Structure 1
Amino acid sequence: MEFDWSVVWPALPLLIEGAKMTLLISVLGLIGGVIIGLIAGFARAYGGWLSRNIALVFIELIRGTPIVVQVMFIYFALPMAIPDLRIDPFSAAVVTIMINSGAYIAEITRGAVLSINNGFREAGLALGLSRRETLRYVIMPLALRRMLPPLGNQWIVSIKDTSLFIVIGVAELTRQGQEIIAGNFRALEIWSAVAIIYLVITLVLSFVLRRIEKRMKIL
């Protein structure tokens, strides 16, 4: 079969819509993931025995299971366990990215805050700041700079992970490509276009993140 780019142009509007959905899911999921990750990461780094172990169980459970299993559990299993619960595919996808990325961001957070020299913490306390104020005004600004590169990597991973949500029918980029192929049977061209769109998104994001890191002089 000859490669024919002309079959891609009519499909571009649907592929672009799928790309927008992919980005929306990844952005919303990452925002929630950062919140979850900060809470779990600080619990691991500074929490008491109970909070440390709850966070540890959450992190190991999520990191030890495939994301496709997680989304199928949320979308199919939870409504069976909770009869009144109704979850649409989009919400299931966003929640899955939140939980999945949150577990990895928790370890990013823990590593970043613990990497800050104890001298900064001692200096904050010596200036009369409380332990909480020291964490907020001294440790976190420094830790966030070190967290930025791995957070960018996590965003890229989450963008690619959205392709797995094809199993629950989310109209993201991969799903749109599959539906187009079902109509024109041009798998080679369409999957090539899908791959190029993913590549463009990740390359642009990588470039932007590198510029931000350079501007902030990440150490």
Structure 2
Amino acid sequence: MARPRQALLTRERIVEAAAGLIDAEGIDACSMRRLATELGVQGPSLYNHFATKAEIVDAVAEAVVAQVDISGFQDTDWREGLRLWAKSYHAVLSAHPNIVPVLATGPGRRPAGLAMAEAVFGALVDAGWSRARATHIGALMRYLITGSALGSFALGFEDDPGLYGRYPHLHRAHELAAHRDAVDEGAFELGLDLLIDSLSDRYDQGVRR
């Protein structure tokens, strides 16, 4: 009998498998050997598509950023564009937290990352912000978004009431983990509101440099 045909190995299959490993176990788990096993192929066959693990991780980062919605900059005021983009970016990174350290270093040569930077920067400059200030705003937004996805503030506290007995203002800190979404998402939303409101005030006052 003829052997069943093996599914064609493509860059897309490799990236999809690598993304699954990274999401589940972190970047360190995504070795070339482990990835080949997951795909049911011999290790050397991966090198026909990617020269190194770093290239694969970079491709995963590109695929994640490609999920971010930047269309809000097309038909809305820059304030609403920033808000819609930030929420989308935050949601995407929150779904893929293990790739955030790679994305936090910047877009590099990744087309989706550069397209996102172009959309944000372009919208701000077109709205009248100076190029220098638009750069600052873009960086500040990225600090908020990637920082909020790097780790959970709520999970930084132990579920142990006795641990906080000597700290009178932290006597309910052990409850934070049980309310992770409300704490972490609430903090992001507050930060985003304050940031955009502050920028809006400066913009309306004509302080755009």
TM-score by length of 2: 0.32
Q: Which has the higher helix share?
A: 1
TM-score by length of 1: 0.31
